[in-house]
Structure 1
Amino acid sequence: MNMELDRIRDAARVLKARIIRTPLVYSPTLSDLFGADVYLKLENLQKTGSFKVRGATYKILKNRDKLGPRGVVAASAGNHAQGVALAARQAGVPAVIVMPVWASITKQIATRNYGGDVILHGTSLSESLDKALELSREGRTFIHPFDDEDIMAGQGTVGLEILEDLPDPDLVLVPVGGGGLIGGIGTAIKALRPRTQVVGVEAAVCPSANEALRTGRLVAVGSAQSIADGIAVKRLGEKTFEVIRRRVDRVVTVDEEHIAEALLLLLERKKVLAEGAGAVPLGALLTGAVRCEKGRKVVLVVSGGNVDSPLLGRVLTKGLLKSGRLMRFTVQVDDVPGSLARLLGVVAAHGANVLHIYHDRNVPDLPLHVTRVELEVETRGFDHMEALTEALKTAGYQLVP
């Protein structure tokens, strides 16, 4: 008897009708791009916008009679906070969520709206965690974000659903942060279809899983800011590490540029809004860190869609610049009537769409009769950018560095 699989099946029973059974969607676009049959498991459509509600709900409901007299407490800057808050409300128990002071206002509001009592404490997540553990000693049950068998079992229901919809996947790519999601999915899939490869994907700026697997022990890694902040976890959990060693074939990393590219590709071509952590499986295909063979069935787990609007704007702009879809340039023109119109005429004649113009006469080193014009235009790619640049030079404009 496989006790781990039994726990995941019990989680599926408990969670039935309490969460959304998210779709597994075939993508013709991505399949053509990578030469394999590519499917997306859309956990960004889950309640609270993330898979996290699965584990939190199972943990709280399974242990409803054992919870502290004052409910539950958790520490999180985002998805776990919202998952625990909603799970506690559905179970009818109070929840205190400790969030670092820099947690986004959007996520603070969402957590409160799901019923959580939000306390802002600490300049780091570890300080928020210390505060949550302190509060747990006052009669609240601490809900760990990943290093817990019940949490992993709840997340493992994602793996069961994948196999119910696609019984024979060859490869499943899963984001890795603390390891709860891939631990659960890997356990479910390897128990039911051992031939399927389960590959983890983490942000290159925070490679805690890679370092743990390389050294054979848990290590804390440094972490820079990442678009995939949801998986920027500096150290795996003890329980999740043991499961990953047994159930996961390998873990790869993706750099920030390819995470942004993946996010943009999902949004533009599939109309799927993914947060950075949810886009890393596609990023692994874009970098070539994971290669697909023709005819293989590949599942990308889009783990969540909770991306802040300001960050989304920056990511999209960076992605457009990187792909040659956005061009910015500066020229100097005579400050006489018609000069700007002539410049815009060259841009229009070559099919570029003007997005922003900044017209500056007050540049210290410019003659009085000259003005500087900065333009941001939408282009079709690098060939189009090159053609526009040549047209501007032919028309007599010198692009200013």
Structure 2
Amino acid sequence: MRALGTDSSIKRGVASVRGSFPGLDRGLAADEERMFGDPGQVHGIIQPRPEELDPRVKDGVVLSASRLEALASCPLRYLHSVVLGIRSPDDPELDPDRWLNPLQRGSLLHSVFEASLRTSRADGIKPDEADFEGRALDILEERVGVFRSQVPAPGEGALNREVAGLREDVRSFVRMIRSDSADSIAFELKFGIDGDEPVVIALEGGRLRLRGAIDRVDQDLHGLHVIDYKTGKADDYGADVFGGGRHLQHAIYAKVAEERLGVEVVDGQYHFPTRKGQNQRVVYDRDEMSRLEDLLELLLDGVVRGHFVPTNDPEDCKYCDFSDICRARRGKYGKVSSPLATWAKEHTGDVVSPEFEQFQKVRSFEK
């Protein structure tokens, strides 16, 4: 303080500190550039390296639908996770009121849904028989036991509440299955996983290799129905088939099912078989999904240019593993604020910055 006080330095304390700590000074300068500068390196703009980054031409690169959706929702997230290989800390956090986080809960329910249908089909138990619900609830209890050994419960009260809720979700799933008339022919149809060959989609810019697992494939007289379970709400799935690139799974999985099973796909469906999802269905028919390749080309052309810009919609930051890097925060009532999304919005208004051109083409693909 004495040093800062000489020669009126106290009045320029920030400048004095920045001058004394060059690393801090560079960090503050980068932060200022990130918030107020033109698109550049601090915003995810990198030197184009298509031979290294374009999955259509780079040998050995296999992507999932979720990674392509991440690229569409926020290219900067893709840069962090896929290009740079950053992983968020997997440190368990004790919540006295909650046993499983949303990801764990969804994983548990998916495994119960798959095992219930697969084992019942093998044993000749039809969904409309009473034994089917009993089988599903028994499998739930078994999976709860497995998860308990991996994820300690904060207390018996929280555990009992969640298990009761899971039972209701499984009963909701049973009701939804009983309302389906088509015959289920495949469960957890994997591709590009566990030694299985990836599925290849031919694009103008090259060959895109894909991996994943289709929750369920049904068949009726008209063809195949490709189904993916979601354990949340259907609010984000609407009239736009691709949701500005955020929803690609149904169309990608439809391509995969046709190739693997050799039967034409009628539609791709998202099912919401839980209390929260209210057993809603969102269905996109074959014609609506037909422009998938065009959208993927636009999406990957942004990778070729090295334009990994941040999203201009703070809602995309809600469940992002890298929200702390971007200083995104959730408010008291769930509203998300993101300084980088605000900055990006300024560059995607009436005049679109060149670095955001591909991003905007993807966003407005269906408009």
TM-score computed with the length of structure 2 as normaliser: 0.24
